Amino acid sequence: MKQVLITGASGGLGYGLVQSLCENGHRVWAAVRKPESMKDLQSKYSSLLTVVKIDMTNSSDVDQAFAEIQSKLDSTKEFVLVNNAGIAVGSPVESLAIEEWRNLYEINLFGPIRLIQKFLPTIRKTKGRIVNVGSISGRISSPFLAPYSSSKFALRSLTDSLRREVSPLGVKVVLIEPGPTKTNIWSRSLEHGQELETKMTDDMRAVYGKQVQSLRKGVEKTARDAIGVEAVVECMVDAIENENPKFYYLVGKNICLMALVARFMPTRILDKMLMSGFRGIKD
């Protein structure tokens, strides 16, 4: 039995992971913004599951959750932090307001750093582990996905450095890198994208309007072709339970191939490939 804190547990991968870990008999803290989102699972697994409130942008939420968890912790059992909460934002670099960049980074990068700093002493003491949820977008920089992609590149780099810092202390650090998976992240991102589009200046719309439309169509298609959450949750469970977890769990349709292409394909060809989906790019 391990003790696991999962952020972003209200839906998608986080929710699936909470369910699987409770099924396997682990003690789970599900961190959500709205506790009512966990009602069903809480009544089903009342002896194993506790819901805590964490908005990734709010450091006092993290302090409060830490105090609550600390008071119930069994120091003889491994503690695992799963940094799963995240949002996806796509936009031309030029037109996205700096406040939007900041909010995305608060959730996808500074939030995980905040949690790592808070819980690492506990993780060190219990020889536990940290599981960060990155993305294949943390290896490939598609045009108009810089906000999301750059946050996941940063998370991947953070994960690599951290692993090299704390593995001598007995702490394991793992990165999950899913490809497109059927969760609400897609509809949320499309909705947010529409909101951003309405905020674009006429000038920006004239320059990038067609590409933003292509991006929306691309996202809709990718969402339709995405895999189910089970395969990704299975990897997350392995990352938590396996005595010797992998460093990286690349999971999804052709994801290993994509990672290889991103690493070894000459940049000129890779650029052409990634730009080809954007109609009007030469207009």
Ligand X SMILES: NC(=O)c1ccc[n+]([C@@H]2O[C@H](COP(=O)([O-])OP(=O)(O)OC[C@H]3O[C@@H](n4cnc5c(N)ncnc54)[C@H](OP(=O)(O)O)[C@@H]3O)[C@@H](O)[C@H]2O)c1
Kindly tell me which of 30 and 166 has the beta carbon lying closer to ligand X.
30
# residues near ligand X by CB under 6 A: 30
Q: What would the DSSP string read from start to end of 198-251?
A: HHS-HHHHHHHHHHHHHHHHHHHHHHHHPBPHHHHHHHHHHHHH-SS--SEEEE
Kindly tell me which of 60 and 76 has the beta carbon lying closer to ligand X.
60
Does residue 130 bind ligand X (CB under 6 A)?
no
**Residue 45: partners with Cβ closer than 8 Å, 6 or more residues away:** 22, 28
| Contact range with ligand X by CB under 6 A, out of 44-52, 80-88, 90-98, 242-250 | 80-88
Rule CB under 6 A: which of 44-73 touch ligand X?
54-57
**Residue 275: partners with Cβ closer than 8 Å, 6 or more residues away:** 143, 281
Q: Strand, helix or coil at 74?
A: coil
Kindly tell me which of 1 and 256 has the beta carbon lying closer to ligand X.
256
Helix (H) or strand (E) holding 29: strand 27-32
Residue 173 · residue 129 · CB < 8 Å: yes
Cα of 118 vs its chain's centroid, Å: 19
* Active-site hit among 45, 148, 248, 249: 148
* Shortest reach from residue 227's CB to ligand X, in Å: 8
Does residue 183 bind ligand X (CB under 6 A)?
yes
Q: Has 148 been annotated as catalytic? A: yes
Among 95, 135, 159, 211, binds ligand X (CB under 6 A): 135
**Residue 241: partners with Cβ closer than 8 Å, 6 or more residues away:** 2, 24
Does residue 13 bind ligand X (CB under 6 A)?
yes
Q: What is the largest CA-CA distance in the chain?
A: 63
Rule CB under 6 A: which of 188-217 touch ligand X?
188
Does residue 33 bind ligand X (CB under 6 A)?
yes
Among 17, 18, 82, 87, binds ligand X (CB under 6 A): 87
* Shortest reach from residue 206's CB to ligand X, in Å: 31
Does residue 86 bind ligand X (CB under 6 A)?
yes
* Shortest reach from residue 56's CB to ligand X, in Å: 4
Between CA 111 and CA 25, with CA 243 as vertex, the angle to 5 degrees is 75
Name the pairing type of β-strands 129-133 and 172-178. parallel
Tokens linked to 210: 């067609």
Rule CB under 6 A: which of 161-180 touch ligand X?
178, 180
Active site residue ranges = 148
Please report, as ranges, the residues that interact with ligand X according to CB under 6 A.
7-14, 33-34, 54-57, 84-88, 107, 133, 135, 178, 180-181, 183-185, 188, 226
